[in-house]
Structure formats: C-alpha cells, structure tokens
Amino acid sequence: MSHQTHPELAAAFTADTERTHWHDGALWFVRSKRDRAARSIPEWEQLRELAAGIKAHTMSRLADYLEQFEQNATRLGAVVHWARDAAEHNQIVHRILSERGVTRVVKSKSMLTEECHLNPYLQKHGIEVVDTDLGERIVQLRDEAPSHIVLPAIHIKKEEVGELFYQTLGTTAGSADPQYLTEAARHALRKNFLEAEAGITGVNFAIAQTGGIVVCTNEGNADMGTSLVPLHIACLGIEKLLPRASDLGVFLRLLARSATGQPITTYSTHFHGPIPGGELHIVLVDNGRSHVLGQEKFRRSLNCIRCGACMNTCPVYRRSGGHSYRFTVPGPIGSVLAPARDPKEYYSLPYASSLCGSCTDVCPVKIDLHHQLLAWRGELAAAKVLPWPKRMAMRLAGKVLGRPWLYRLAGRAGRFTLRWLPRWMVYHRLNPWGLQRELPPMPRQSFRQFYRQRKS
Ligand code: SF4
C-alpha cells in the first residue's frame, strides 16, 4: 500500500494560506519565549553540555541502569513489566486492567501510549479511556492524532474549539473565550476523574538510583488522575532513564524552558512506589529503541527529552503542520526516528528539512539533528528506497553540483528556458515545480539578445 508522503500532506496544509501563517506565527511565539528563557540563565550552554554528557553516559550503560531501576522500583513496591514492542505493551496494560475488572480509565499525556496506539486498543476491548490533558482531550474529541508533542492541539483555532465543545460538551454556541472553554472542559473532566477506576500516565524521567519516576504536567492532571484511583500504570520508553537523582535538576531546568519558555513546569511529580493501599505498575517499553541504540550514527536521537523545541523552530514544521509527518513524533526529531522504524514508509521525512541547523541549535540535549537528517538521506539513497524519479533527480543534481562549469551552464540554460517557455507550460498541473511558484515576469528576448546580454 502506498502512503502519502510529506510533500503531499504538506501541500494539503499549505493550501490554506491564512492557517499556515497563523500556525507559523503561533509556534514562532513559543520559540521566542524559549529564547528569552534560555538567555535568562548564564550557564545555559553548560547545562546543555552536561545534559548531553549524562545522556551519552546513560546510553552507554543502559542495560545496567535499567536493571538497577527495576530492583529499586520493585523495592519501593512497584511492579515492573518489560515490553518488547507496542503490541506487548498494549497487551500488558490490557491484562492489568482486565484482571481488576477496570472499564474506565483516565490518562495523562503520554507520547509513548500514542506511539503504541493504546487508546484504540483498549477501546476495542471495551475499556473507556479519557485523555485529561486539555490539548489531548480536544484532539481526542475530534478523533484525530496530536500534531505536536507538547502542544497537541496547536493546529486548532479557539473558534474551532468553541464549536467542538458546543457540539460535544454543550457550551454556548459561538463562544470562543479560552477561559470559558477551559472551565467547561475542566467541569466535564471532573466527572471522568471521579468515575475512573485506574490512571495511566507517561513518564518524563525514571531514576535508576532510587527507582522513582517523575511526571511533568502544567495542568496537574497526572496528579489528579493517579491520586483518586487505586491503580496507576506508568508507561515509559527505556531511554527515559537517568542514573542519579542529582541529574534530574539539570533536565528539569532545560525541559520547561525549551518546551514553552517557562522557568519550570507547573507540576513535576515524583512517584516512589504506589500510594498506600494502591498499586503502581511500570511498563518499560523498547519498541525499536534498542535497534536505534545499536546504530552509532543515530544513537544520539535517544537523548531526546521530548521538549518540542526543534518543532517550534523548524521552518518546515511551522509551515506544514504536524499531521503532514504522519508519525507520532513530528518535526526534525520525528524525521530522524521515523525512518529507523520503517525506512520505506517514512522515506520522505528526512527531506522535510532545509538543513538550516536551527533544530540542532535549540536542542537542550545537543542532538545533532540536521546531521542525522542528512545521514538518513544517505542511508535511504543507498538502500534504494527512494522512488526512481527522486533517485534520478538526486543523481543528476549531484553531477551538476559537483562541476562548477556545468552548474553555471545549467543556470543560464534554466533562465533562458524560463524566459521562452510558454506560461501555460510552466504553470501546468503536470509540472508541480511551477505550480508552487510565482515567477517574476521576464521580457521576451531573442536568443541573440540574450547571448549578447550575457557577454556584456
Ligand atoms: S530533539 Fe531535542 S529539541 Fe527536539 S524534542 Fe528532542 S530534546 Fe527537544
């Protein structure tokens, strides 16, 4: 089955010019806040350096730290499960819930459960899952995927949220007041919190030394969703490990500032074992991470702390929207992670980048994103997974760009051709290159005039 590529999906998004500008501006606002927050800390670059070093060290001894984490978490009373892939993760979560007869669950934001498609799996087995993060709830009510890992509903305008809540929550028709809509969502979610029998959360950091886990939210929904129920299931990717409790401060300072420009996330909640009389199950998920760990060129992508800063700054992401990536994690980091999962399906993503390097500049854990995107292009070309027109175009471009005289000649030929080519051929639907361009009007010249002009 052929899947839609990034350019095809991006074209659908950019067809709405007004929305594209609005989306671009909204994300640039967050990026600017991040810049101000980063500049407010003189030791910002040292923190980034330290974070990258801690992550590199952790990844080099990941197996040891995972075992240490399991021992300490078990000592604190948690039950640790290991899932090889998404299917195993979903089966484990379902088994824990069904053994206890749970049919209603509240979930706080977790990109891992999105990656594993947990919601549809549980719903298929008769378990109702309600996302409690406001942005996640909005996209859940619209029956669509998040378009950003920190701001899941960034592609939706407040007027559209007003219409959605009018249809689903019974708010006043035509109201787009953010405070009113937020209060309406809170009111509706309160019932879900009170009726839930279990809470599922993601995990931002897991500490090998203590066996504790840390969940960061701005809305306190993870705290509410786990303190009212006797069963807490925490799902985490194996790359979320940190060796020591003292490492945490470095990452908490970087995470909130990079994500939204806040000095600190509103709630950074530490869980050390279950609540009295309750159960805490921790599901450690691999799902392709060990494979990435074994690839030297791409190993550093596992350092990601999912702050979203590379998305907010990426000129391609800002103008093409998160859904155009068709992967749980969009933007530059998603374009590195996705081909590792399935090179054939996601071959177009490493090309969804101008390679400007802005993603690398803002990444708090110093992942060399634009180098990795370039490396993926080489891997995909060598594996021959690119469609043949793209392969031919790349080969031709390589030959032209490698010979300055040929490059100059091609430039002149191109300008001459454009001057003489009938406009209907330039803007023909069979020529996607021309369709996306507004060429400046060029006066017609004879070849002799053109040639003389070039010589003079
Ligand atoms: S790659 Fe870096 S900037 Fe992008 S989400 Fe991960 S940590 Fe943040």
Q: Could you write out the three-class secondary structure of 41-98?
A: CCCHHHHHHHHHHHHHHHHHCHHHHHHHHHHHHHHCCCEEEEECCHHHHHHHHHHHHH
Structure tokens belonging to residue 114: 């999105």
| pLDDT score for 395 | 87
Taking 50 as the pLDDT cut, the residues of the chain under it are 1
Residue 138 CA neighbour count, 13 Å, CB half: 23
Residue 393: the pLDDT is: 86
Residue-level pLDDT at 155: 96
pLDDT at 394: 85
How far, in Å, CA of 73 to CA of 65, rounded?
Answer: 12
Measured distance between the N- and C-terminal CA atoms of the chain, rounded to whole angstroms: 55
pTM for this entry: 0.89
How many CA atoms within 13 Å lie on the side-chain side of 166? 12
- Between CA 294 and CA 25 the distance in angstroms is 38
Q: What is the DSSP letter of 348?
A: T
Structure tokens at 291: 């494979």
Compute the C-alpha angle 206/211/212, nearest 5°: 60
Ligand 1 centre from 360 Cα, in Å? 9
pLDDT at 29: 97
Pair of tokens at residue 116: 């594993």
Q: How many residues does the chain have?
A: 456
Strands (E) in 140-197, as ranges, are: none
Closest ligand 1 atom to Cα of 336: 1
164 alpha carbon, distance to own chain's centre = 24
The set of protein residues with a Cβ atom below 6 angstroms from ligand 1 is 258, 304-310, 333, 362-365, 367, 369
Among protein residues, the one with the nearest Cα to ligand 1's atom 3 is: 363
Q: CA torsion angle for 263, 310, 15, 162 (degrees, to 10)?
A: -30
